[in-house]
């Protein structure tokens, strides 16, 4: 009888967690049939595989440059989706939802163990599972995560969080075993740290924060207490292990950042904000995130935040925002001993944003950056609500409030999931509240073009000129509008794009400003691929202008893309020799990318220059031999060689 009573709360927590998981599935159902969006096309559709072939899967997983470590595990997961379920976005989104549910379970386990340890011997210890359950439930049901779960490419962020939590959980269990003097404690800690840490790093580089999370767990939860230290003896084994997995990697990371500071900050040359402006702006962004945690508004949630206003001065609101963040950190420090759960939650949030919301030249705002961060403040707030109402007459009101809050979250998540059901409903909704987002303006232009409403499309390019006056994107979009209008017009000869080409060249040649962003590259590629109203001569002039702008080609990969596109235009104009010469230059920009040489080889075959193609093959084989096994181009080289052999057979006939 005694066993049944003690097991009952535990069983209830499991049952309630199962109900929340099922509810989460139901809330996301409307959005699971939604389409691929934006970066999904460049980060997933290039990983198509018809059947499972391990020899092809490994190099394919390392084929996309999504980060310093290439994120091969996330890429492999996309490829496996294609292999087993085809190209329907449904399987990709279902996989993301499954990862979301699993992550919610891990957060429950992490929270429960933290609370049990922190509340050990206190009157509230029996409520540890309930607090952890509520915190995990709010996290699972929160509408802010819809854009992470239903935007397929954000699986990278999901996997990083999942493996980070697995490593943290392994550390917590290992530390408990150390406290209980059980075997294999250090084995569990080290295996969890290195295995899950490596898997996380191969999913997304934000896993680099893992040592920080373990440091927080030790400082706020275990407090460096081991059987040895409690006996008054220095625990050398523990301190050595702890230093190896936290202090050492943190110190190395800081050293690398200091030594490579110029490299890390070079990306600001492609941004329309400086390092200082980014830091000022992020103070507002972080408070905006916090507001969304506890007072979510669907009108303020978006896939597109590229129109977020940049802060350039220390105005009153900025000073208040920075002071508030400092106050939050000071509050955490003051509560270290008295309320470690609240302190841990505060620093969990701040640490989670230390990489993507500080000095690095990333876009200003993205919702997926809260996938790990949100849990810290949720745990702190829900624990705090319990802590200050449990022994008062307000306890029932607190429970009612949490119930209503979760009901509100569920309604908003279902509504947002429904909005994500189609591209049109999503972009139409967001366009109402994000008027300065280039991506949304671009979508609106394309929507108007589909409806042949060319005047409305030009109104959008006029707006684009106002908000991005030094970007060539607006006149390039006007060229595209001309292109589409010509295809439908009976008076095509009266439509000319000359003035827009001139405007584009003027902006691109204005070297003091960027003049050409990745948005412009998208437009220029579309013009090169589909527009007959612009000659190859004009295209070449545009590409040459880009390549002459030092700021536009600071990024080697971007420069290589421009050179490859320029080579294709020359090749289409019958200047194969010029084209292959440009591809040689493109290869020198990034020698590790052999696909440029492969394209050069195919151009030479097409031009009948088989001797040069043979020389290219030999160069490819030499360079391929020096690449690591997971970056080999062996199969692609064999295909090119086969094409050369086939062409030789054809010429002999």
Q: Is residue 397 scored above 50 in pLDDT?
A: yes
**In terms of Cα–Cα distance, which of 442, 436, 507 is closest to 475?**
507
Would you state the pLDDT for residue 572? 85
Cβ proximity of 588 and 604 under 8 Å: no
Would you state the pLDDT for residue 20? 97
Give the model's confidence band at 1: pLDDT under 50 very low, under 70 low, under 90 confident, else very high: very low
Instruction: Average the pLDDT over each of 48-52, 342-346, 347-351, 453-457 and give the range with the smallest value.
Output: 48-52
Q: pLDDT per residue over 157-169, tens digit each?
A: 999 999 999 999 9
Would you state the pLDDT for residue 6? 40
* Contacting residues for 178 by C-beta, under 8 A, at least 6 apart: 185, 186, 226, 227, 238
Share of the chain above pLDDT 70, in %: 91
Instruction: Average the pLDDT over each of 120-124, 141-145, 346-350 and give the range with the smallest value.
Output: 120-124
Q: Is residue 281 scored above 90 in pLDDT?
A: yes
Kindly give the residue spans of alpha helices, DSSP state H, lying in 248-394.
248-259, 261-265, 275-294, 316-334, 340-352, 370-389
Would you state the pLDDT for residue 583? 92
Q: How far apart are CA 559 and CA 561, in angstroms?
A: 5
Would you state the pLDDT for residue 480? 84
Q: Is residue 8 scored above 50 in pLDDT?
A: no
Q: pLDDT per residue over 128-168, tens digit each?
A: 899 999 999 999 999 999 999 999 999 999 999 999 999 99
Would you state the pLDDT for residue 263? 76
What is the rounded average pLDDT of the residues 348-363? 94
Q: Is residue 641 scored above 80 in pLDDT?
A: yes
H or E segment to which residue 404 belongs: helix 395-419
Give the model's confidence band at 356: pLDDT under 50 very low, under 70 low, under 90 confident, else very high: very high
Would you state the pLDDT for residue 507? 66
Average pLDDT, the chain: 87
Q: Is residue 359 scored above 70 in pLDDT?
A: yes
User: Is pLDDT larger for residue 123 or for residue 490?
Assistant: 123
- Helices and strands, number each (H, E), in the chain: 32, 0
Give the model's confidence band at 251: pLDDT under 50 very low, under 70 low, under 90 confident, else very high: very high
**Alpha-carbon distance values, 361 to 206, 263, 288, 426 (Å):** 15, 11, 20, 27
Would you state the pLDDT for residue 3? 45
Residue 529 tokens read as 């691929």
Q: What is the DSSP string of 427-452?
A: HHHHHHH-TT-HHHHHHHHHHHHHTT
* Contacting residues for 246 by C-beta, under 8 A, at least 6 apart: 211, 212, 214, 215, 218
Give the model's confidence band at 7: pLDDT under 50 very low, under 70 low, under 90 confident, else very high: very low
**Alpha-carbon distance values, 392 to 129, 194, 273 (Å):** 20, 46, 50
User: Is pLDDT larger for residue 27 or for residue 514?
Assistant: 27
Q: pLDDT per residue over 289-311, tens digit each?
A: 999 999 999 999 998 898 899 99
Q: pLDDT per residue over 569-594, tens digit each?
A: 888 888 888 999 999 999 998 887 78
Would you state the pLDDT for residue 77? 94
Q: Is residue 220 scored above 50 in pLDDT?
A: yes
User: Is pLDDT larger for residue 170 or for residue 53?
Assistant: 170
Would you state the pLDDT for residue 333? 95
Q: How far apart are CA 610 and CA 616, in angstroms?
A: 10
What is the rounded average pLDDT of the residues 313-326? 96
How many CB atoms within 10 Å of residue 337? 9
User: Is pLDDT larger for residue 92 or for residue 51?
Assistant: 92
Q: Is residue 217 scored above 90 in pLDDT?
A: yes
**Residue 469 phi/psi, 5° resolution?**
-65, -20
Instruction: Average the pLDDT over each of 273-277, 455-459, 472-476, 627-631 and give the range with the smallest value.
Output: 627-631
Would you state the pLDDT for residue 629? 65
Cβ proximity of 270 and 554 under 8 Å: yes
What is the rounded average pLDDT of the residues 460-467? 87
Would you state the pLDDT for residue 517? 60
Give the model's confidence band at 482: pLDDT under 50 very low, under 70 low, under 90 confident, else very high: confident
Place of tokens 């195919």: 602
Give the model's confidence band at 328: pLDDT under 50 very low, under 70 low, under 90 confident, else very high: very high
Would you state the pLDDT for residue 211? 97
Cβ proximity of 61 and 630 under 8 Å: yes
Would you state the pLDDT for residue 495? 55
Q: How far apart are CA 605 and CA 477, in angstroms?
A: 35
List b or e across 341-368, with b for residues whose CB sees 16 or more CB atoms inside 10 angstroms: bbbbbbbbbbbbbebbbebebeebbbbb
What is the rounded average pLDDT of the residues 329-353? 96
Give the model's confidence band at 4: pLDDT under 50 very low, under 70 low, under 90 confident, else very high: very low
Q: pLDDT per residue over 168-212, tens digit each?
A: 999 999 999 999 989 899 999 999 999 999 999 999 999 999 999
């Amino acid at each position: 009888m005694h066993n049944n009573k003690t097991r009952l709360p535990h069983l209830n927590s499991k049952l309630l967690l199962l109900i929340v998981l099922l509810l989460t599935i139901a809330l996301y159902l409307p959005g699971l049939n939604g389409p691929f969006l934006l970066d999904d096309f460049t980060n997933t559709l290039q990983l198509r595989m018809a059947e499972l072939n391990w020899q092809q899967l490994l190099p394919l997983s390392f084929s996309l440059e999504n980060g310093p470590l290439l994120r091969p595990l996330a890429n492999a997961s996309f490829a496996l989706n294609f292999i087993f379920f085809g190209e329907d976005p449904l399987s990709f989104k279902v996989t993301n939802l499954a990862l979301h549910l699993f992550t919610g379970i891990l957060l429950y386990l992490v929270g429960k163990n933290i609370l049990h340890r922190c509340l050990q011997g206190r009157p509230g210890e029996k409520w540890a599972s309930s607090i952890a359950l509520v915190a995990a439930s709010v996290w699972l049901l929160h509408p802010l995560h819809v854009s992470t779960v239903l935007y397929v490419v954000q699986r990278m962020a999901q996997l990083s969080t999942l493996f980070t939590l697995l490593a943290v959980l392994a550390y917590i269990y290992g530390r408990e075993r150390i406290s209980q003097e059980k075997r294999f404690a250090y084995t569990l800690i080290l295996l969890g740290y290195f295995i899950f840490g490596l898997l996380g790093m191969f999913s997304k580089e934000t896993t680099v924060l893992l040592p920080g999370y373990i440091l927080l767990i030790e400082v706020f939860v275990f407090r460096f207490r081991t059987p040895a230290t409690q006996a008054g003896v220095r625990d050398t084994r523990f301190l050595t292990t702890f230093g190896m997995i936290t202090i050492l990697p943190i110190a190395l990371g800081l050293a690398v950042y200091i030594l490579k500071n110029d490299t890390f900050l070079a990306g600001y040359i492609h941004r329309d904000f400086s390092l200082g402006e980014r830091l000022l702006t992020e103070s507002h962004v972080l408070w905006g995130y916090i507001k969304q945690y506890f007072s979510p508004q669907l009108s303020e949630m978006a896939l597109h935040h590229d129109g977020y206003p940049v802060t350039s001065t220390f105005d009153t609101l900025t000073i208040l925002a920075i002071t508030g963040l400092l106050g939050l950190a000071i509050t955490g420090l003051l509560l270290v001993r008295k309320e470690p759960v609240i302190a841990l939650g505060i620093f969990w949030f701040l640490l989670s944003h230390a990489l993507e919301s500080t000095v690095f030249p990333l876009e200003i705002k993205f919702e997926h950056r809260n996938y790990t961060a949100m849990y810290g403040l949720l745990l702190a707030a829900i624990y705090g609500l319990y802590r200050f109402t449990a022994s008062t007459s307000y306890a029932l009101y607190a429970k009612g409030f949490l119930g209503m809050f979760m009901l509100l979250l569920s309604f908003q998540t279902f509504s947002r999931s429904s909005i994500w059901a189609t591209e049109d409903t999503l972009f139409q909704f967001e366009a109402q509240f994000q008027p300065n987002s280039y991506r949304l303006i671009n979508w609106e232009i394309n929507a108007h073009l589909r409806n042949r409403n060319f005047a409305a499309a030009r109104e959008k390019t006029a707006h684009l000129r106002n908000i991005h006056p030094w970007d060539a994107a607006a006149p390039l979009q006007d060229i595209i509008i001309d292109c589409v209008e010509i295809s439908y017009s009976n008076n095509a000869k009266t439509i000319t794009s000359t003035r827009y080409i001139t405007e584009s060249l003027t902006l691109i040649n204005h070297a003091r400003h960027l003049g050409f962003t990745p948005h412009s590259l998208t437009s220029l590629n579309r013009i090169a691929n589909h527009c007959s109203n612009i000659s190859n001569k004009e295209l070449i002039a545009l590409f040459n202008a880009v390549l002459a702008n030092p700021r536009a080609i600071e990024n080697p990969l971007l420069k290589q893309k421009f050179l490859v596109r320029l080579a294709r235009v020359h090749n289409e104009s019958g200047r194969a020799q010029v084209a292959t010469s440009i591809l040689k230059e493109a290869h020198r920009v990034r020698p590790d990318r052999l696909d440029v040489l492969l394209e050069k080889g195919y151009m030479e075959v097409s031009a009948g220059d088989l001797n040069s193609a043979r020389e290219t093959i030999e160069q490819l084989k030499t360079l391929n031999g020096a690449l690591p096994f997971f970056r080999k181009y062996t199969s692609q080289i064999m295909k090119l060689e086969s094409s050369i052999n086939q062409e030789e057979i054809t010429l002999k006939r």
